[in-house]
Chains A and B, each alone.
Chain A
Amino acid sequence: MQHTSTPSERFTPRRGLRAGCALALAAGALLAGEAAAMEVKAFAIGDFVPSGSGGCGGGDRSSWPGMVDAWYDKMRDKGHTKDGQYNNGSQTIQRFCDPDWKSGCRDHDYLDEADAAMIATHGTDGGDHWGGTMRAPWGGHCRLDAGGSSDDMWVGDVDLEFIHLSSCFSADDDNLPGIRWAMTDPVDGGYAHQWDGFHGIMWISSGRNGDYRRFAKQGHSTSIAEAWVVNLYDNRVCKDGACHEQCPVAYSISTTETSALNRLRYERYNHVYSDPTGNNWYAYMYIEGCDPKSEGPFNP
């Protein structure tokens, strides 16, 4: 797809851009301000399979695919291309892992083939990274480990710019340094732009479809980061006067703090920058002190 440039990249040309990036940057500079349709994919599990039946375990959450569907449909309404919706079925890490890590992985046909994608599944805190529960094992793996010390997920080398995770622990405060390693391929190069997830536990309900629909819509009017954090924040589940929170976090990478911040502050679905050329800096947006179930308050 076409890209526009970040302010820093527009005014300060970089060295060492890969050929593809350079072409995209040049095209983007010519088309600055124009929106281009993106290819959008959605992956959701609501019906989990017990390990005794050959699955990966996990409690059923039947409303989950509908929440993702709300985002997916609204993206279509905004002019993007529905490029694949995968609910339940053979949801294994094969769709999300990179062949440079393990032969047979096919992220180039699924996750990394999209421009924007959402994954919904149970999540775990793997110590320094997020782990997503799959529906069925593949290659001995039931969990997609992404970022930090794990190697399963390396996106950005094919196409993916924006990845949204409707999954617990997908942007835990203590895992922020490692998220960027899932947003790049150390073998082929290339970088994704933004990762949106949650600190701690998130919430499932058919009554929350609207949050995902609004996120998709508002991600065209204001920054994707702000649309994610404001729409997905929630303080409505209370017990004995104490309210629990859902804590969304938006995350970007780049070679400078200025570029990472500008991506976070300004990048939208209809205003996409050129690909980052490094990930030594990351920037993030969150709700101060947000305190979800099963985790302490967000404290990076």
Chain B
Amino acid sequence: MSTQIPFRHLTLAAAIALGATLSLPVNAQTLAKGGATADPMLEERAPTRSELVAMLDKALPRAIGDDNSKLVGSMLSAELGKPLGETFDPKRVIGALFNGQRASFGPDCGPGADGSCTVSSGEIDGDGAYLELSFSNRPQDGEIVFIARPPQRKLTPKDIVPVEMDEREALERAMDLLGGTIGLPLSEIAQIPDKAVRGLVLGWTEPDLGIDQQVTVARLVALPRTLMVPGVGPVAAPGYAKVLLDDGKDGPPVKQVSIQDWADLRPHHAAQPRNAKGRAELIDEIAGDILTGDPGQVSDIIAQLQLIAVPDEHHALIVPAVRIAIVPLPDETIAPKDGEATAPSSAIEIRDYELVRLEETFGDEEG
């Protein structure tokens, strides 16, 4: 059977392999054989090692060179704010966000307890208003969630009104909340992404009646942790803060606060700049790792400098790294016709690779 591949199916690597010069369509030589895949879906081809090396070399930040000892040293010197483990005060948060409601501490709370502590007001299983603050009993872990659930009522479309708060105000209020009430070190948000504030939308549709409504009801502020690295600029680090806000017409205006993985950081004592990997060594390591499994097709690789954290008894330890996103589908995926499909692979995989070989250590020394 000879089947034509629409242009959207071709990856860069596949195009190279097929010798295609954009004189599409071309015949699929590798389409499923023997009736194993009756569905019209392209059989993929993983990149060769040389193709993958070329893609990685193109994707890796230019800051990663042959000698990265200076880069590693700089990343280990990333500017840290006052740790959240020292600045987070649950009583302050309850005072600010529970609006005077009686807060009940759960049995899972306390310095010696494992897991997280939950403080609440109202019935979690009920249909009334409910407030919940949960946080790790190890404050240095940087895990905090606040939820304000409005009471259930019979909601009709006329009750769905647009949020009046604009994006700028939402960002300002979220930053005030995070920096003031929660105690998040705002200096650790060294770069605010261009899509930091988004609208949360409710839509409802009846196709036969031609009714199709969408209303933006809240603002979601999403701020990744980024640390300022001397001589490099902002570098992504573990930690993510989200705040969901509305105008407060059906309860508190702060609907959710989520602080994830905002651990207290220290430089890793076993990460020494002299052990920094070179660009070629790193590319070789990453290519080998990706090809250890079967990655499927790879149309693009996104790479960024990244500080990763290794858990430790008291803190999380920083290790300079590069984050790789392996993208299977091209950007210009065209909506297929009914019955067709894009490709067997789709999900982007994210992997981290250390920029430095960690030295073996003995004993309890801590940097």
Contact = CB atoms under 8 A, between A and B. Distances in A.
Q: Do A and B come from one complex?
A: yes
Interface of A: 4, 7-8, 11, 32-35, 48, 50-52, 54-64, 122-128, 131, 133, 137, 140-143, 145, 148-149, 167-169, 174, 176-177, 201-205, 207-208, 210-211, 214, 218, 220-223, 226, 229-231, 233-239, 241-245, 257-258, 260-262, 264-266, 270-271, 280-291, 293-295, 300
A177 to B, nearest CB: 5
A122 B339 contact: no
B3 interface: no
B63 interface: no
Nearest to B59: A239
B346 A176 contact: no
B325 A142 contact: no
B211 A257 contact: yes
Classify the secondary structure of A's interface with B: mixed
Contact of B335 (A61, A125, A218, A231): A125
Given A124-B341, A125-B341, A258 B154 contact: yes
**Interface pairs A-B: 4 shortest CB-CB:** A59-B296, A288-B199, A168-B346, A124-B341
Interface in B221-235: 222, 224
B294 interface: yes
B132 to A, nearest CB: 5
Classify chain B: how many residues form its interface, as a range: 35 or more
A222 B147 contact: yes
Contacts of B295: 59-60
A7 B156 CA distance: 10
Contact of A142 (B38, B130, B339): B38
Given A201-B347, A210-B260, A241-B194, A51 B294 contact: no
A57 B33 CA distance: 12
B364 interface: no
Interface centre among A51, A52, A282, A289 (most CB of B within 10 A): A51
B204 A289 contact: no
A205 B350 contact: yes
Contacts of B222: 233-235
B169 interface: no
A271 B149 CA distance: 13
A61 B347 contact: yes
B348 interface: yes
B202 interface: yes
B155 A143 contact: no
Contact of A203 (B329, B335, B348): B348
A6 to B, nearest CB: 8
A33 B122 CA distance: 12
A59 to B, nearest CB: 2
Contact of B242 (A126, A205, A230): A230
Contacts of B85: none
Contacts of A57: 32, 37, 41, 43-44, 296, 344-345
29 contacts: A8-B154, A33-B125, A51-B32, A52-B33, A55-B36, A57-B296, A59-B44, A123-B347, A124-B336, A125-B341, A127-B337, A137-B38, A205-B350, A222-B149, A222-B256, A233-B220, A235-B196, A235-B224, A237-B323, A258-B157, A261-B157, A281-B206, A282-B205, A286-B201, A287-B198, A287-B199, A288-B198, A291-B195, A294-B329
